Amino acid sequence: MIIVMEENATEEQIARVIEKLMHLGFDVHRSTGITRTVLGAVGQKIVDARELELLPGVAEVLRVTTPYKLVSRSFRQEDLEIRLGDVVIGGREIVL
């Protein structure tokens, strides 16, 4: 599940959402961008999204049904480059 926080969400609001997710049994991965914070809730729990949408600072709750959630565009909008020695994977060049 992906929780998109409002642009003006405070650190306290973000912390409360993280605490709620952990209490529900999720592992939480935080990604803070320039304008928003996105929380990835990883786990097999079934939770009513409305319960989370009502929390202060939450803009949107998205269910993820695709594999590889943590590397998908729905979790991380920015391009990701990984350096392995002299090789960069995920950049503009094709790697063979």
User: What pLDDT, in 10s, does the model give residues 23-82?
Assistant: 999 999 999 988 899 999 988 778 888 999 999 999 999 887 766 666 666 666 677 777
Instruction: Please say whether the beta carbons of 75 and 40 come within 8 A.
Output: yes
pLDDT of residue 20: 95
Confidence of residue 21 (pLDDT cuts 50, 70, 90): very high
**Domains of the chain, first to last:** 2-89 (3.30.70.1140)
Residue range 12-18: mean pLDDT, rounded: 97
What whole-number distance in Å separates Cα of residue 4 and Cα of residue 92?
A: 28
- Write down the pTM of the prediction: 0.67
